Structure 1
Amino acid sequence: MAATIDAVRDAFLELSMGHFVQPQRLVFADGHALVMTAHHTPSRSTVVKTLSIEPGRDPVITGTVVYSDPDTQFTANAAPLTAMRTGAVVGVATDLLADAGASHLALIGAGAQALDQVRAVHAVRPLRKLTVHSRTPAKAEALLEELSLELPGTALDTASSAADAVSSADVVCTATPATDPLFPAEALPERVHVNAIGSYLPGMRELPEELLTTCDLLVVDEVAAALAEAGEIIHAVQAGTLPVDRLVELGAAVGDPPIARGRTVFKSVGVGCQDWAVARLLSRPSSSG
């Protein structure tokens, strides 16, 4: 995960420098089918990912990632790669925006993305406590059991509500398909970093509008992608409570790190350069160890 975080951080910095051609994601069948691509001009390398998403299916995500450059072609299962790259971008944002001593993560959602969310935050902010809330308590318990071997020195607990989970956290990760905010803004501590990665369609919303409009810093993976797909952002912008110029792109923040204080938010819908970064890393012989 540490190597993946570094690769994704570098990719976003290159995105901010104009080194990627990255078209808007294609969405079919009300979000049940997605196609993403990115071309890295300096290396003449390209990634294409196709996804099928069925919330009632196990696994929810199926698909394929194809990476190619002038010397290499690499194909991967899209589900674990997507979880890995989504975790990695949260690692980048958490490293950038969370307090240096942050050690308590609240995770909302215990689905396919959850493991790599925890792994990524732990890679940049070693966890002393992890609190998980899921609308299916058995999933939260199973997740904690799986993580117990990876986090032997971490206190592991569940919460009966999202509001209870976030009330004393240093870092929050939401990874759900929610269509309504998961918790009220007042449930959060005054100093906290929040990552929201679950919603990826205009009709989805994990975060309360008040948090977006009052937080000290609001970072997105890419402004154009957020305005097209992030339900929380779209709703607040259309309501006139969130000026677009408050949105800071992650690549720009990596290149010129802000002073983070108060409540900070990273909202990600996922963009092609993340898939490129992880596929390129995995395609190298040395990465197989």
Structure 2
Amino acid sequence: MLILSEEQIRSFYGMREALRDLAPALQAEHAGQVQNPPRLVLDVPEREASALYMPSAIGGLGAVGSKVVTVFPHNPPRGLPTIQGVTLLTEADTGQHVALLSASYLTRLRTGALTGLAAQHLARPQASRLGVIGTGGMALEQIQAVQEVRPLSELRLFNRTPDKAHTLAEDLRTELPGVSISVSPTAEALVEASDMLVASTQSSTPVFDGKALQPGTFISGIGSYLPSMREVDETTIRRASKVVLDTLEGTRHEAGELIHAEQQGFWSFEQAHSDLAGVVAGAKAGRQTEEEIIFFKCVGAAYFDLAVALGAYQEARQRGLGTEVAL
């Protein structure tokens, strides 16, 4: 079995590779070649934390896998990351367990790549002003992904703790030369000045007022992943011309803002425009007008993790990287 650490994966696998590897997986999903059972979520209430167990298989790519990821939001003061995970990769022809990969970086990478693919199809072609609400562990890869598909002219950041936003802004000024980077005093000021928006929080209450959205805005909601979480408000959902989901089944059980909207009776999952797979495969239209507001909701799915784990494993084999162990 090949063991791949986060440091090793980072040395050769980045956002461009993740975008490359997720697109065929989404096409396989649209073709009915993906098995993706509902993930099992175990709560750790005393830490306000969760452990997620996520198996999947992608037919045609010859891959079976299972990811275990933990989300412990109070870890940073203890010097530990919020998100930690591993992915076990199994060879579909023989059932041999071929690799164990650190999954924390890959989780952030594939979540960013999903926003990137969504922005590629759903944001206006000329969009270049990105606003990010929530500058925690997921924010950097979200920005990198959007930059790959819609090169940025302006980036605005907002965080409940302003120091975190200022720290990320300073780090990004070297990585994104030529991009105007600032920290917004309020979420609404950020939203009003953005034509692309990422909400990357674990908030149980909406983090911005949908009245501030400008016509033509693309919104990616990637932070909330439990029925109790709602980072996007009712106004945003009501104003959205299209709601696109990463997966219908996952969002039906885990997207708190959409579950709330259905319970309130002003929106239903049957009204969703498409899943992302349908848009990427070309079966459903992406953006059709300059004015429409489009909301992409992402809660994650195991086959996304499997796609990037398989891509990283194949690259590592080609490069002779990783640590081989006998079990």
**TM-score normalised to structure 1 length:** 0.96
CA drift of 1:244 comes to 1.9
Number of residue pairs matched by the alignment: 289
CA drift of 1:72 comes to 6.9
Equivalent residues of 2:244, 2:296 under 8 A apart: yes
Equivalent residues of 1:74, 1:279 under 8 A apart: no
2:35 aligned with 1:21, yes or no? yes
CA drift of 1:78 comes to 1.8
1:284 equivalent in structure 2: 314
2:277 aligned with 1:251, yes or no? yes
Please tell me whether Structure 1 or Structure 2 has the larger radius of gyration of its CA atoms.
2
Equivalent residues of 1:221, 1:270 under 8 A apart: yes
Equivalent residues of 2:88, 2:97 under 8 A apart: no
Equivalent residues of 2:124, 2:287 under 8 A apart: no
2:144 aligned with 1:126, yes or no? no
Q: Write the mapping of 1:155-170 to structure 2, written as runs, cut at 5 A.
A: 155-170=180-195
- What is the rounded CA distance, in whole Å, between the counterparts of 2:32 and 2:302 in structure 1? 14
- What is the rounded CA distance, in whole Å, between the counterparts of 1:263 and 1:43 in structure 2? 35
Equivalent residues of 1:106, 1:165 under 8 A apart: yes
- What is the rounded CA distance, in whole Å, between the counterparts of 2:286 and 2:306 in structure 1? 26
2:88 equivalent in structure 1: 66
Note the aligned Cα RMSD (angstroms). 1.6
- What is the rounded CA distance, in whole Å, between the counterparts of 1:122 and 1:74 in structure 2? 31
2:163 aligned with 1:138, yes or no? yes
CA drift of 1:258 comes to 2.7
Q: Write the mapping of 1:187-198 to structure 2, written as runs, cut at 5 A.
A: 187-198=212-223
CA drift of 1:259 comes to 3.5
Equivalent residues of 1:176, 1:206 under 8 A apart: yes
CA drift of 1:74 comes to 2.1
C-alpha change, 1:43 and 1:103, in structure 2 (3 Å) is closer
Amino acid at match of 1:272: A
CA drift of 1:282 comes to 0.2
Unaligned 5+ segments in structure 2 are: 1-14, 322-327
Q: Write the mapping of 1:62-211 to structure 2, written as runs, cut at 5 A.
A: 62-69=84-91, 70=93, 73-211=98-236
Equivalent residues of 1:217, 1:265 under 8 A apart: yes
Equivalent residues of 2:18, 2:113 under 8 A apart: yes
Equivalent residues of 1:33, 1:51 under 8 A apart: yes
Amino acid at match of 1:154: V
- What is the rounded CA distance, in whole Å, between the counterparts of 2:63 and 2:281 in structure 1? 23
Secondary structure at 1:148 match in 2: helix
Deviant stretches of 4+, over 2 Å = 41-44, 256-261, 285-289
2:5 equivalent in structure 1: none
1:5 equivalent in structure 2: 19
**TM-score normalised to structure 2 length:** 0.85
Equivalent residues of 2:28, 2:59 under 8 A apart: no
Amino acid at match of 1:228: H
